[in-house]
Amino acid sequence: MTTASNVQDVVRSHLANFWPDRSRQEFLGASGPIYDINPEFRVCRIAPRSDLEPWDYVTMGATSPAAEHMTEFLISAPTASPTHVETLTMVSYLHSDQRYRLSAGSTLEIGRPWIDGAVHDHLLVSLPYSYGPGLGLCTTSSFRVRVLWLVPISAAEAHFAERNGSEALERMFDDAAIDTLALDRPSVI
């Protein structure tokens, strides 16, 4: 039987294998209803090796182990902040509701800038392209877990993706060579 602890152990090991030379620290999510669903929910913060790398935050327990498709979420940031733990907790709770399941291509408004000083207040759920093929999927003989990347976007970009598809927006990002970590990144729309 797959349990929350089994999934956390697999995700924890996956992150350690993917980032073997970066320190990791686990945090309880922001207090709230996520713990009614999964009392073991955590967020792992992965520290950069240098100022040129982002801080990475990954959920552990965003999806119930009973779910057919288990998903964890990643957010990358230029600085460490408890805001990222709060955002991931909120996204995980939303995702736990069958009516609001998130998948690659989903967009969501978070009701505030994604980090203090930023201009974007929406997120695009995407595959973690910039990390190469190794991060996005961790598997065992009994289950698999997808890791999806939360990319900060503008309201105009979210509306564009909803009308034209996320792939069209991501092509625009590639063409513009955007910096997803820039707090003042101009919208491509």
The answer as to whether 189 is a domain residue is no
Question: CA-to-CA distance for 43 and 86, rounded, in angstroms?
Answer: 9
Domain count, the chain: 1
Q: 180 vs 142, which has greater pLDDT?
A: 180
The answer as to whether 113 is a domain residue is yes
The answer as to whether 97 is a domain residue is yes
Residue 117 burial by Cβ neighbours in a 10 Å radius (0-12, 13-18, 19+): exposed
pLDDT digits (tens, 9 = 90+) for 151-187: 999 999 999 999 999 999 999 999 999 999 999 999 9
Question: CA-to-CA distance for 58 and 37, rounded, in angstroms?
Answer: 18
State yes or no: pLDDT of 122 exceeds 80: yes
The answer as to whether 40 is a domain residue is yes
pLDDT of residue 139: 86
pTM for the model: 0.94
The answer as to whether 183 is a domain residue is no
The answer as to whether 90 is a domain residue is yes
Mean pLDDT of the region 77-88: 96
The answer as to whether 185 is a domain residue is no
- Percentage of residues in the chain having pLDDT higher than 70: 98
Take residue 80 and report the two structure tokens written for it: 């460490």
pLDDT of residue 60: 94
pLDDT of residue 188: 97
- Roughly how many angstroms between the first and final C-alpha of the chain, as a whole number? 47
pLDDT of residue 15: 96
State yes or no: pLDDT of 65 exceeds 80: no
Question: CA-to-CA distance for 168 and 172, rounded, in angstroms?
Answer: 6
pLDDT of residue 32: 82
pLDDT digits (tens, 9 = 90+) for 40-62: 899 999 999 999 999 999 999 89
The answer as to whether 77 is a domain residue is yes
- Percentage of residues in the chain having pLDDT higher than 90: 77
Domain membership of residue 164 as a residue range: 4-176
**Beta 144-153 vs 70-77: how paired, if at all?**
parallel
Q: Output the average pLDDT for the chain.
A: 93
